[in-house]
Structure 1
Amino acid sequence: MFTVRPYKEEDAAACGDCFYEGFFSCSVDQNDKILLRDYAQILIEKCNFTCVAETEDHQVVGFICGKYDKRFSKALATQYETKKHYGRWCKIFLKFYLKRYKMSAPFQKQFDAFFRQLQERDKEIFGICDLELVALSSRRNYRKGLGTALVTQFMKRAKGDGADRVRLFTNTLASWEFYEKRGFKKVAEKPFQDGSGNQSLVYEYVLKEHEYEKHHL
């Protein structure tokens, strides 16, 4: 069983661990964990809201973020539930681009590959949605209901805020099947620029249509 609650600032390191478990397979050292924590913090603070899932012994094992489109709601798009640390952001970005994070060689290789995957995303293929599901990480409790608990809470929030369409960006290297099993439909795909045969994917969940089907079938 998992409890899903709003993110707190002290969850940053645990969310960094979840980020690692969701996307990397190599071993990491303390310097690698500093980058993971900082990356998770920036990601979370860029979004309008974040929820974390924790176990009965209060260990954070997953998180999910939501980002509103201004065309859907200017009020919600400019409302942030997590404090933004702009000064810390600047220091993190500068440290990253000056290559001052002392990453281990195995983690550096995997992180570079992850970063290249992020650059495959473009605004045109992503399109317009009311609410973007930005991140869902952690395989520590894979197949134990963690992802379902987080997505269920996310959808409750989306419905409560009046969003019609939720979208997420992923690729064929990630667990996109999870979303298909939960009613998300693929609405766009694009081959990676490196010719590897992998695809960038956009999935969408239309809340109002699903509500209609539930009450009329």
Structure 2
Amino acid sequence: MFTVCPYKEEDAAACGDCFYEGFFSCPVDQNDKILLRDYAQVLIEKCNFTYVAETEDHQVVGFICGKYDKHFSKALAARYEAKKHYGCWCKMFLKFYLKRYKMSAPFQKQFDAFFRQLQERDKEIFGKCDLELVALSSRRNYRKGLGTALVTQFLNRAKAEGADCVRLFTNTLASWEFYEKRGFKKVAEKPFQDGSDNRSIVYEYRLREVYETGMPDLVKKEEEDGV
């Protein structure tokens, strides 16, 4: 069982660990972990709200973020639940582009590939939505409904605040089937620019369509994947 609760500033390092375990497979050293922590913190602070999932012993094992579109609600888009550390933002990006993190060679290779995948995100294809599901990252060895618990909390929050359209960006290198099993519909797809067989995908969840029929019972779905 997992407890899903709002993100706290002291969760940043654990979220960095979750980010690693959701997207990378190579060994990492302390320098790599510093970048993972900083990246996760910047991502979270750019979003309007973040939830973490904790085990019974209060270990953070997953997180999920949401970012509101100002065209949907300027008030919600201007409200951020995590304190913004603008100095940390600038320091992180400057340090990254100047290659001061001194990442290990295996991690550098995987992170560069991850960064190239992010650049496949096309704003025009992504389109406008009330709320963007920005990140779902979790430990691979927890396949006990962790992802489902986080997505359920996310959708409940979206419904409570009046959002109609939730969208997320992923690709065929990630566990995109996770969302299809939970009622998300594919609305856009585009091949990678590198000519590979991989594709960028946008999924959408229309909350208005489930207001009358009721929210799907996601808790019964035990499969758990990451974005």
TM more than 0.5 = yes
Using structure 1 for the length normalisation, give the TM-score: 0.97
What is the CA distance between 1:197 and its match in structure 2? 1.2
Q: Which runs of 4+ in 1 moved over 2 A?
A: 139-143, 212-215
Q: In the TM superposition, what whole-angstrom CA distance separates every residue of 1:94-133 from its partner, at most 9, and x where no partner exists? A: 1001011110000000000000000000110000100000
TM-score where L is the length of structure 2: 0.93
Equivalent residue letter for 1:163: A
Give, in whole Å, the separation in 1 of the partners of 2:24 and 2:208: 36
SS in structure 2 at match of 1:214: coil
Partner residue in 1 for 2:55: 55
8 Å CA contact retained: 1:186, 1:201: yes
Number of matched residues? 215
Q: Deviations over 1:24-52 (max 9, x none)?
A: 00010110000000000000000000000
Match of 2:5 in 1: 5
Residue correspondence of structure 1 range 117-196 to structure 2 within 5 A: 117-196=117-196
State the alpha-carbon separation in 2 of the partners of residues 149 and 165 from structure 1. 20
Gaps (5+ residues) in structure 1? none
Match of 2:221 in 1: none
- For residue 182 of structure 1, report the CA deviation from its aligned partner: 0.3
User: 2 CA distance for matches of 1:23 and 1:179?
Assistant: 17
Match of 1:76 in 2: 76
How big is the alpha-carbon RMSD for the aligned residues of Structure 1 and Structure 2?
1.0
Give the whole-Å Cα distance in 2 for the aligned partners of 1:44 and 1:87.
15
CA contact (8 A) 1:189 1:201 kept: yes
2 CA distance for matches of 1:80 and 1:48? 4
Q: Shift in Å at residue 141 of structure 1?
A: 4.3
Which moved further from structure 2: 203-212 or 52-61? 203-212
CA distance in 2 between counterparts of 1:34 and 1:211 reads 43
Aligned mates of 2:107, 2:40 — CA distance in 1: 16
Question: In structure 2, the residue corresponding to 1:156 is in which secondary structure?
Answer: helix
Aligned to 1:40: 40
| 1:15 and 1:61 in contact (8 A); partners too | yes
C-alpha deviation, 1:205, in angstroms = 0.3
Counterpart AA for 1:20: Y
Deviation larger for 195-204 or 141-150 = 141-150
Q: Does the 8 Å CA contact 1:61/1:140 hold for their aligned counterparts?
A: no
For 1:143, the aligned partner's letter is: R
What CA distance in whole angstroms lies between the structure 1 residues aligned with 2:157 and 2:94?
Answer: 35
In the alignment, residue 100 of structure 1 is paired with which amino acid? R
Secondary structure of 1:84's aligned partner: coil
Shift of 1:190: 0.3
Gaps of 5+ in 2: 216-227
Contact 1:183 / 1:205 at 8 angstroms: preserved in 2?
yes
Query: Is 1:107 aligned to residue 103 of structure 2?
Result: no
